[in-house]
Amino acid sequence: MIEARGVGHAYGDRTVLRDLDVTLTEQRIGVVGANGSGKSTFARMVNGLVLPTRGRVSVDGLDTRSQGRDVRRRVGFCFTDPDAQIVMPTVAEDVAFGLRRRGLSKAEAKARVTDALAAYGLADHADHPAHLLSGGQKQLLALTSVLVTEPALLVMDEPTTLLDLRNARMVSGVVAALPQQVVLVTHHLDLLDGFDRVLVFDEGRVVCDDAPGIAVAHYRSLMGATS
Amino acid sequence: MTTIGLYLPGSSPLHRARAGHKLLVLVVAGAASVFLDEVWQVAVALGIVLVGYGIAGIPLRTALAQLRPLVWVAGFAALFHVVMNGWERAVVVLGVIAVLVLLAALVTLTTRTTDLVDALVVACRPLRRFGVDPERVGLMLALGVRCVPVVVGLAEEVRDAQRARGLGASPRAFVVPLIVRSLRHADALGEALVARGVED
């Protein structure tokens, strides 16, 4: 469960979020909004990457400010550009990276890496250099490296923006099958079909908070009206 | 393209040797290389390294590819030494460089980065009392290896963007955006490291 209470955020004197009060308990939560509407900042607040300048954010009762470390253990985060997220030179090593310092034995860690690679279709690429993967495979690797740590909640910031339709569908297919609570920030509106709840951000505020059909329609009319 | 020095899976004795031992050999060879003075000595050293490639089962083409980035530097060095010190000296100097680069590449080609990192972390442990965090040194090595192909990729993007706008081969129009992109990549990478719990 994610709770934001009286949250506002400003970079210097540029306010990017204001008056945010939400409680997110649903399994599948979509976040849409124009570029610069504050949705990425909100996503980063859920795992404490960004601390709000006003108010507080908590995950399962853990405050992102005072218990950031515990929050980050519960919350996996997937970025837009997988290249920035892949830390190790080869596929299996990158997946194993998230398990360092988790107190697992080498054999345990290796087994979990092997299982994770198999689960997300990367088993044949285990020893491949990460930079030779396709864009879709890179995003899948980034996602696998996050999921191997078994987060209770997954936040994804436009994970399909750099991908073609086929790869976007593949990634969203993987996400759909996850048991975790997922917060998905996206511009691919059709990925939100079947979601439980969608928030629409505009100029730092949540302007619509509803079922996907209604929220997406609101977002479309918002974008149509301003262009 | 850049397959330089990246781990090639295998099961040869060199692949199975401990990363720490391989690094130690590399350090010793580097220090000893200053004693190589004659052409025949360099030839022997080169022979030994190539036998190593044979044992590891790495094709000669891959071995030669390790030397390709050296072409420019080596070309200038060769010219300098031929003019100043004669061709024999030039052969020795270039030979030593080639031997060391090939040996270093042989280590990285037969060792997973993780194992190199672990060996380095162990080697740095005594430095802890001077305030060095061994894990951090290891992470730096891993990121260094990972960043080579990433920055090459960024450079290709910048060059394409330059061509698309018809900007020819202006060095400034290449270097400035490359630095800007690299810094932005570094920012994003930092954020990703925090998200993956490195700072915790």
pLDDT by residue, tens only, chain A of 227 residues: 999 999 999 988 899 999 999 999 999 999 999 998 999 999 999 999 999 999 999 999 999 999 989 999 999 999 999 988 998 888 998 999 888 877 788 889 999 999 999 998 899 998 888 888 988 899 999 999 999 999 999 999 999 988 888 888 888 888 999 999 999 999 999 889 889 999 999 999 999 999 999 999 999 999 886 54
Residue B120 lies in a domain: no
Residue A151 at interface with chain B, using a CB cutoff of 8 Å: no
Same domain assignment for residues B21 and B107? yes
Residue B125 lies in a domain: no
Residue B101 lies in a domain: yes
Same domain assignment for residues B86 and B17? yes
Same domain assignment for residues B43 and B99? yes
Give residues 96 to 115 of A whose Cβ lies within 8 Å of B. Answer: 96-98, 101
Angle at B173 between CA B168 and CA B177, to 5 degrees: 135
**Spatial separation of the C-alpha atoms in residues B171 and B168, rounded to whole Å:** 9
Same domain assignment for residues B18 and B100? yes
Determine phi and psi for A169, rounding to 5 degrees. Answer: -65, -40
Same domain assignment for residues B149 and B83? no
Domain boundary among B111, B141, B160: B111
Closest chain B residue to A130, measured at CA? B146
Same domain assignment for residues B50 and B101? yes
Q: Tell me, what's the pLDDT at B36?
A: 86
Residue B44 lies in a domain: yes
Whole domain around residue B65: which residue ranges? 13-111
Domain boundary among B111, B139, B167: B111
Same domain assignment for residues B19 and B80? yes
Interface with A, mutate which of B2, B6, B108 (most A CBs under 10 A): B6
Take residue A34 and report the two structure tokens written for it. 């124009």
Under DSSP, the state recorded for B48 is H
ipTM of predicted assembly, 2 dp: 0.84
Residue B122 at interface with chain A, using a CB cutoff of 8 Å: no
Number of inter-chain CB pairs under 8 A, A vs B: 83
Q: Which residues contact B54 (CB under 8 A, 6 or more apart)?
A: none
Q: Tell me, what's the pLDDT at B200?
A: 65
Are the Cβ atoms of B197 and A145 closer than 8 angstroms? no
Residue B124 lies in a domain: no
Q: Which long-range contacts (CB under 8 A, 24 or more apart) does B58-67 make?
A: B58/B8, B58/B10, B58/B106, B58/B109, B58/B110, B62/B3, B62/B8, B62/B109, B63/B102, B63/B105, B65/B3, B65/B4, B66/B4, B66/B5, B66/B101, B66/B102, B66/B105, B66/B109, B67/B98, B67/B101, B67/B102
Three-state SS for B84-145 is HHCHHHHHHHHHHHHHHHHHHHHHHHHCCHHHHHHHHHHHHHHHHHHCCCHHHHHHHHHHHH
Nearest Cα neighbor of A91 from A125, A139, A140, A132 is A125
Same domain assignment for residues B56 and B102? yes
Residues B196 and A87: beta-carbon distance below 8 Å: yes
Same domain assignment for residues B93 and B176? no
**Spatial separation of the C-alpha atoms in residues B140 and B1, rounded to whole Å:** 24
Residue B138 lies in a domain: yes
Residue B54 at interface with chain A, using a CB cutoff of 8 Å: no
Amino acid in position A53: T
Domain boundary among B82, B111, B140: B111
Domains in chain B, number = 2
Strand ranges (E), A71-227: 75-78, 153-157, 181-185, 197-202, 205-210
Same domain assignment for residues B136 and B73? no
User: Å from A84 to nearest chain B CA?
Assistant: 5
Residue B200 lies in a domain: no
Nearest Cα neighbor of A23 from A47, A57, A49, A53 is A57
Same domain assignment for residues B105 and B141? no
User: Å from B188 to nearest chain A CA?
Assistant: 6
Task: Give kind and range of the element (H or E) at residue A36.
Answer: none
| Residues of chain B falling short of pLDDT 50 | 1-2
Residue B65 lies in a domain: yes
User: Å from A88 to nearest chain B CA?
Assistant: 6
Are the Cβ atoms of B200 and A131 closer than 8 angstroms? no
Are the Cβ atoms of A97 and B196 closer than 8 angstroms? yes
Closest chain A residue to B188, measured at CA? A84
Same domain assignment for residues B17 and B75? yes
Amino acid in position A117: L
